Amino acid sequence: MSQAGTSEEVAPVLLTDEQVGQAVRAVPNWYHRITLRPGIVTPGGSDSVENLRRLQLPADCRGARDLDLGARDGFFSFELERRGAEVVAVDYLPAELTGFRVAADALGSRVQYVHANLYDLPGIGLGQFDIVLFLGLFYHLPDPLLALSVIRSHCRGLLFLESHVVEDGSDVPLMRFYPGRSLNDDPTNYWGPNVACLEAMLSESRFQTLSRACYGDRAIFRCHAREDQALAYFNRLATGRRACA
């Protein structure tokens, strides 16, 4: 993990289809399925296209500055760029340890890659963003409320949050803790919030929920940053001014 964050400008590299295919095969683990060239699709296990459809991102992002947190191989970063946005991708792994570098070179992308942990972002100075993607990351973070505070300090527009949820039909905000490897044998899975809990945490973090949708044990929230000086004040007290603007 990077403490200060390492920003990398991804300069376009001209590759032949054969070179792209070789580069894709050299990546040991792909997460996203990304169409790099006609007939060349990365072998990720995540159905990226279906997840994109469910998100319902703005079709025209020209003039927007967007942030993709936990970008991994970069499917959503590249899609936002394709729609016209200036994009910053953040992940705790270097770009060379995922498929991001290969995909960026194959697509001729100019997405800026920042190697950093989400909790370190306040010290990096990335500025404000019109759209923030926070996909599949919430439940992997030991302090998700602090994470939302960090995100709010960087968001001036829309937040798209996708997460694992435990839906029990309750209107009471509840969150389950997963010790050790108790969820899917993954030690980085910490939390299972219900939908009421996620919406309440978003509200406390100064986000207004515009829409939400559940798909089995997953949920997507579309939110807008809102102003609330009282909540901002108490957030600064609680976080030692580390996160909240």
Instruction: Say whether pLDDT at 245 is over 90.
Output: no
Q: How far apart are CA 61 and CA 243, in angstroms?
A: 27
- Asked if 196 and 171 touch (Cβ cutoff 8 Å), the reply is yes
Average of per-residue pLDDT across 11-16: 69
The pLDDT confidence band at residue 14, using thresholds 50, 70 and 90, is confident
**Torsions phi, psi for 91 (to 5 deg):** -150, 155
235 confidence band (pLDDT: 50, 70, 90): confident
Question: What's residue 1's pLDDT?
Answer: 34
- Residue 198 pLDDT: 97
Q: Is the pLDDT of residue 92 over 50?
A: yes
pTM above 0.85, yes or no: yes
Which range in 14-23, 65-74, 168-177 is most confidently predicted, on average pLDDT? 65-74
Around 74, how many Cα atoms within 13 Å sit in the side-chain half-sphere?
33
Set out the domains of the chain in order of their start, with CATH numbers. 6-239 (3.40.50.150)
Residue 244 reports pLDDT greater than 60:
no
